[in-house]
Chain A
Amino acid sequence: MARNLSMSMPLTNPLRIGLRQERVIPPQCLVIFGASGDLTHRKLIPALFELFKQRRLPSEFAVLGCARRPWTDEIFKEKMEESLSYQIKESPKEWELFSQNLFYEPVDLQKPEHLIKLGERLDIIDKLRATHGHRTFYLSVSPKFYGSGCRALASAGLLRDPKRSRVVIEKPFGRDFNSAQSLNSLVQGCAQESQIFRIDHYLGKETVQNILVLRFANTIFEPIWNRNYISSVQITSSETVGVEDRAGYYESSGALRDMVQNHLTQMLALTAMEPPGHFDPEAIRNEKAKVLQAVKLANEEKPWECCVRGQYAKGGSDSDPLLGYREEAGVNPNSTTETYVAMKLFIDNWRWQGVPFYVRTGKRLAKRLSEVVLTFREAPVHLFDAAGGCPTSNQLILRIQPNEGAEFSFEVKSPGSGMRSRPVNMEFSYDESFGEPSDEGYVRLLADAMLGDPTLFTRSDEVEAAWRLYTPLLEKIEDSPWELPVYPYESRTWGPTESDLLIAKDQILWRRP
């Protein structure tokens, strides 16, 4: 309804313009390593352009793209212009101004002489754009270069000033607990923890941040947000797409490393953490780390009892057939990499003792969505007949994407002479309530990184706690894969049947949104 109306109405609320009080980004030079890569033109430059259009970038600003390719400033601008042609068409003047901030320097992080040249170039940019040595280094490079990249920056003295220089590191941060720990100690040897920003773009989503606001800005939820009222929690992140052109990376990663260890675990942490004393980056990250340290697999001795792996097989229709994972280009025809994983976790603390957290993610599932579903305990006595046979438990559904918002389902009296109950939904939709689109996750996270605000970035102990949780499982998959086989599932379905059985043992069904 709202979308139809928008055709004839102003898309922006004129009274809303300028009301947001955004924090001020100090003078800044953002240095992107891997500037010729996919992430730069698909996410980073569009996010920076958006920040520019929102007038949130200071006038003393520059982006220095760095990669091994021998590009010039002009070529870099042209490449970015090609990729952003759609956005530029809508705001050509803004692009003209913004692109004046784009520079390029060919850099191979493994060559010290390149780093010296980079330092000189940055000094020139400092003078040219008055950026006062404030630098954010964004490592959008292959994960194997995170450690050496940081070391190279530190050796060149570019991370010396903890107040004015910082490093942003993309996921995945390590492959397991040991590698994450080594990487942490390597990176922390190059810079202070306050300079290190480990990015998880899920935390940039408005709806993920809303979990904190919903829980801690309202009084009605927190008293019931515990084992006394909540019977289970489901966290789902499903994609309809397959592996696409990421087979090389995905084969060595799989759903557990690609999605569960970071995005889903962060959603779990925000859902389950204790209230922080105040809204302060460290206070929030302390609570997240604490709860992650208390999470455990439901059955650590027999992980196959609490974890199901799957791999998408063929599917689709005759007119639109879909390949199975093993038939995808670049994938080993005998691959045992999971494209689906579902598991049951417990949190060993007072608040959540005994409450199962079911987590699932997969590719080529029936719908693209991310959500957190809290199911409340049933009413102790059933006084009324339920239209559906038995009364449905109340559910609070936090819709992360798409159709961002929240919904609460509860029983009401069905109209008529009897006293039959049936469930209804109470809904909140970001689209309808705010009438303006939320910023893409990278917009928020890039701004925060440049502001030096680490709230939405993962700290070393959080990363390690998450890896510590899943590493036994990863080892088991590696050492005795037959104990955790990959079950095939038809593309565009809700995953293998074994996944349904996993939670059916607890008389629970996965929510089918």
Chain B
Amino acid sequence: MSPRLTLQTPLQLPPAEIPTYLEQLWSHEERGNKGANTFCLIIWQPAWIEQKLVKTGKISGPVLGSQRNDLIEAAREIILKGDLPNSTSPLDFRVHPTIQSKELIKNVEDLRGQHIDTSISNLQPRRLITIAPTIEKENNLETLVAAYCPLPEEGGGKTACGDVIVLRGNQNAINDGLEIVETLIPDELPSWLWWNGRIDEAPELLKALAIPNRRLIIDTALGEPSVCLDLLLQRINSGQAVNDLNWLRLRGWRETLAMVFDPLQRRSALENTQKIDIDIEGSQTVQGLLLAAWIADRLNWKLETFICSKKDQIKFNFIRPDKTFVVLGITSLPIGKPSINPGQIVGLRLIAKAKNKQKNDLCVILASESGECMRLEAGGMARMELIEQVVPIQKTSLENDVARLLSSSRGKTSPLLANAAPLAKEMLDLVNQTK
């Protein structure tokens, strides 16, 4: 589905005039109509790599703020040609400084905030406020505003309209323009902040925008793992509704692993789990830690000790309710063509051995559709019942995932994530203590 543009060309206005303009804009409508009675979404949309690639002429403009194919391909090429490891994700922050440029092309069209993906526009947001920092240091604050109406499909039905506002400029200009953002959020509607960038890239700005009653969408795959988990945990503990795209992308793994143990005759194997190995792409460990923590939490295991930290592997001891040890390892694999999101899981092996009942031994291997599981298949499980499943790659776009969160969140953090996050953080702290 192609993104929808705003209904009218956005009007550039001084920030102070925006509230008055919006007031007038809606007063032309029928009396009492203030647009869709849905939600407001603030989007932090830096798109650093896309800006750099467009402004150095490596891909064509305009800047859209989406994960377009040509952007991904260009970034992969830069990784291959540069000094970065091959397993670097194409949207990794290290790609940005690697893009060589003598001079940036001026007057590149920047449509960030004006392209609204169908999956989001279908939810009829009342107001979308995009904060679009520019890579040029000299850019002053520009504020744009436009009305926006999704066209109803199959005719019929009233159009519920909203508006879009874009704040564009360098980091200082954005900071200056921030105070207007809060005045633009109607009190009666739930508001969301989608932090579509690295969690550690602008902590003060994030703090200013992620006020306590605002629902937060972050991606813990983007940023230093300890910073990501710190923020996640801190926000969960403060009672804020946090939605993590990295956690959402784990749903295929959670569902497939649960599916393996749906048949009653396999249930006891869960209680006899002795070993779990999780393979991830590259070195961003948050997704691996969250999956491990989810399993441990669901099966009521207690984190006991950190066993070892090799260059590419971390291992922990857990204790099952029956006081037996479980060894859990997370291994970083050098993947030739990694996925867009850093640290995605590529394989999981679970080994369960029942005391005195060898015939009930079970080995479960889950492998990503994109990877192979031969590494996990090695290791003498010949006498065990072997269950192998392929976990489908999530083919949904980033915007689709966000739309999914916007439409399904109850304004609360998922209880599963709320339980897994502290354990994941505890595991990472143990690793960091030994460094």
Contacts and interface: CB of A to CB of B under 8 A. Distances in A.
Interface residues of A, number: 25
Interface stretch (B177-185, B222-230, B258-266, B281-289): B258-266
Interface stretch (B55-63, B86-94, B104-112, B409-417): B409-417
A10 B270 CA distance: 10
Interface string B245-264: 00000010011011001111
Contacts of A436: 262
Interface residues of A: mostly helix, strand, loop or mixed?
loop
Contacts of B396: none
B298 A15 contact: yes
Best-buried of A6, A13, A283 by chain B (most CB within 10 Å): A13
A434 B262 contact: yes
A9 B261 CA distance: 12
Nearest to B415: A18
A13 B408 CA distance: 23
A14 B298 contact: yes
Interface string B296-308: 0011100000000
Contacts of B261: 13, 15-16, 435
B268 A24 contact: no
A2 B266 CA distance: 10
A463 B258 CA distance: 40
Nearest to A55: B415
Contacts of A14: 270, 298-300
B295 A15 contact: yes
B264 A15 contact: no
A432 interface: yes
A435 B154 contact: no
Contacts of A432: 263-264
Contact of A13 (B267, B300, B414): B267
Interface in A16-54: 16-19, 21, 23-24
Nearest to A16: B258
Contact of B410 (A10, A17, A24): A24
Nearest to B297: A14
A8 B258 CA distance: 19
Given A5-B265, A23-B408, A435-B267, A15 B257 contact: yes
Contacts of B254: 15, 19
A2 B262 CA distance: 11
B423 to A, nearest CB: 15
B416 A18 contact: yes
A17 B263 CA distance: 15
A274 to B, nearest CB: 16
A433 interface: yes
A1 B257 CA distance: 23
Contacts of A15: 254, 257-258, 261, 270, 295, 298-299
A9 B264 CA distance: 7
Nearest to B404: A21
Nearest to A24: B410
Given A19-B255, A21-B408, A282-B154, A435 B298 contact: no
Contacts of A9: 264-265, 267-268
B264 A435 contact: yes
A18 B297 CA distance: 12
Given A15-B254, A15-B257, A2 B265 contact: yes
Nearest to A21: B408
Nearest to B417: A18
Nearest to A282: B154
B84 to A, nearest CB: 36
A469 to B, nearest CB: 27
Interface in B125-149: none
A17 B298 contact: yes
Contacts of B414: 18
B405 to A, nearest CB: 10
B267 A2 contact: no
Interface residues of B, number: 25
Interface string A171-197: 000000000000000000000000000
Contact of B267 (A10, A17, A433, A434): A10
Nearest to A277: B154
Given A13-B258, A15-B254, A18-B415, A6 B410 contact: no
A15 B415 CA distance: 13
Contacts of B251: 19
Nearest to A13: B261
B262 A13 contact: yes
Nearest to A7: B264
A23 to B, nearest CB: 7
Contacts of A283: 154
A2 B270 contact: no
A435 B259 CA distance: 9
Given A18-B416, A19-B255, A2 B263 contact: yes
A24 B258 CA distance: 23
B156 to A, nearest CB: 9
A58 B262 CA distance: 28
B268 to A, nearest CB: 5
A28 to B, nearest CB: 14
Contacts of B299: 14-15
Best-buried of B251, B257, B263, B299 by chain A (most CB within 10 Å): B263
A233 B298 CA distance: 45
Nearest to B257: A15
A308 to B, nearest CB: 42
A1 to B, nearest CB: 8
A24 B408 contact: yes
Contact of B264 (A2, A17, A19): A2
Contacts of B300: 14
Contacts of B255: 19
B301 to A, nearest CB: 11
Interface string B369-381: 0000000000000
A18 B263 CA distance: 18
Contacts of A18: 414-416
A432 B265 CA distance: 9
Nearest to A436: B262
B268 A19 contact: no
A14 B258 CA distance: 8
Contacts of B416: 18-19
A324 to B, nearest CB: 42
Interface string B353-388: 000000000000000000000000000000000000
Interface string B145-171: 000000000100000000000000000
A456 B271 CA distance: 39
Contacts of B268: 8-9
Interface in A152-211: none
A463 to B, nearest CB: 21
A193 to B, nearest CB: 12
A9 to B, nearest CB: 4
Best-buried of A2, A5, A14, A434 by chain B (most CB within 10 Å): A14
A483 to B, nearest CB: 45
A24 B299 CA distance: 27
B263 A435 contact: yes
A2 B265 CA distance: 7
A5 B415 CA distance: 30
Given A14-B299, A19-B255, 15 more contacts: A2-B263, A9-B265, A9-B267, A10-B271, A13-B267, A16-B261, A19-B254, A24-B409, A24-B410, A58-B410, A283-B154, A434-B262, A435-B262, A435-B264, A435-B267
28 contacts: A1-B265, A2-B264, A5-B264, A6-B264, A9-B265, A9-B268, A13-B258, A13-B267, A13-B270, A14-B270, A14-B299, A14-B300, A15-B254, A15-B270, A16-B261, A18-B414, A19-B254, A19-B416, A21-B408, A23-B408, A24-B408, A24-B409, A58-B410, A282-B154, A433-B262, A434-B262, A435-B263, A435-B267
Q: List 5 A-B pairs, minimum CB-CB distance, nearest first.
A: A15-B258, A9-B267, A435-B262, A16-B258, A14-B298
Interface of A: 1-2, 5-6, 8-10, 13-19, 21, 23-24, 58, 282-283, 432-436
